[in-house]
C-alpha cells in the first residue's frame, strides 16, 4: 500500500477523533482517509469567523435581537456599580430610569413582574414624553440583578426606549 495515510490509519474502534498534523488534515478512525490542504482549511475558518464578527458591528457576541434591545437603553451603564449605585464613595446614589407602556393593567403587571421597583404614573408623561394612552414608568438600579432587569425590559416589544430619569 503506497498511501502512507492509509497505512497509519487506525481502525474505527481505536480512535474516532480527527487528527490535525502540520502538513494536512487526516480524518482517522471512520474507515476513511483523506488529505485536505491546511491553507484551504485556514481560509474556510477565517471566512466563518469574519462573517460572525461583522454581523454584530461592535457587539459580535450578541444576537441581533439582543443588540436591538440594548440600543433601547439610552443612558450609560458602565459607571453603575454591581449593587446598582454610582458616584463617589461618600455620595453613592441609585440611578432612576423611565420608560412608557400602554395604559393597560396587563402591561403594568408584566412590567412589575420584571421590575419590582417600578412606579407607574398613568397621568404623567415625564421627561421622556409618554404619548396619550401610555403611562410613565419609573424604575431604579438599586436592586438585585438590575442589569438583567433592564435587559428584560428593553426586550419587550412595546417599550421603545429607556432613559435616565432626572427629577426636577
* Amino acid 61: pLDDT: 54
Instruction: Enter the C-alpha cell of residue 25.
Output: 488534515
Domain count, the chain: 2
Residue 29: inside a domain: yes
- Identify the CATH number of the domain in which residue 124 sits: 3.30.70.260
Mean pLDDT, to the nearest integer, of 60-75?
68
Q: pLDDT tens-digit profile of 117-159?
A: 999 999 999 999 999 999 999 999 999 999 999 999 999 999 9
73 and 147 assigned to the same domain: yes
78 and 33 assigned to the same domain: no
159 and 105 assigned to the same domain: yes
Residue-number span of the structural domain to which 82 is assigned: 64-164
pLDDT reading at 10 higher than 70:
no
Q: Is 112 exposed, middle or buried (0-12, 13-18, 19+ CB in 10 A)?
A: middle
Measured at the alpha carbon of residue 47, what is the angle toward residues 33 and 64, in degrees to the nearest 5? 125
* Amino acid 136: pLDDT: 97
| Neighbour order of strands in the sheet with 163-164 | 119-121, 134-140, 96-102, 163-164
* Amino acid 70: pLDDT: 77
Give the H/E segment covering residue 64.
helix 64-71
41 and 81 assigned to the same domain: no
18 and 45 assigned to the same domain: yes
19 and 48 assigned to the same domain: yes
CB-facing half-sphere around the CA of 135: CA atoms within 13 A: 17
Residue 45: inside a domain: yes
Residue 59: inside a domain: no
Amino acid at each position: 500500500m503506497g498511501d502512507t495515510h492509509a497505512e497509519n490509519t487506525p481502525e474505527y474502534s481505536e480512535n474516532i477523533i480527527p487528527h490535525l498534523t502540520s502538513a494536512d488534515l487526516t480524518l482517522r478512525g471512520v474507515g476513511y482517509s483523506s488529505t485536505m490542504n491546511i491553507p484551504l482549511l485556514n481560509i474556510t475558518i477565517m471566512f466563518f469567523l469574519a462573517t460572525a464578527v461583522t454581523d454584530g458591528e461592535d457587539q459580535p457576541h450578541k444576537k441581533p435581537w439582543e443588540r436591538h434591545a440594548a440600543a433601547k437603553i439610552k443612558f450609560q451603564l458602565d459607571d453603575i456599580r454591581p449593587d446598582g449605585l454610582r458616584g463617589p464613595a461618600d455620595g453613592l446614589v441609585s440611578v432612576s430610569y423611565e420608560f412608557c407602556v400602554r395604559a393597560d393593567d396587563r402591561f403594568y403587571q408584566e412590567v412589575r413582574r420584571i421590575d419590582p421597583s417600578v412606579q407607574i404614573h398613568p397621568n404623567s408623561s415625564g421627561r421622556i414624553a409618554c404619548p396619550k394612552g401610555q403611562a410613565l414608568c419609573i424604575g431604579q438600579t438599586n436592586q438585585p440583578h438590575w442589569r438583567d432587569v433592564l435587559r428584560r425590559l428593553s426586550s419587550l416589544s412595546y417599550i421603545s426606549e429607556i432613559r435616565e430619569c432626572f427629577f426636577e
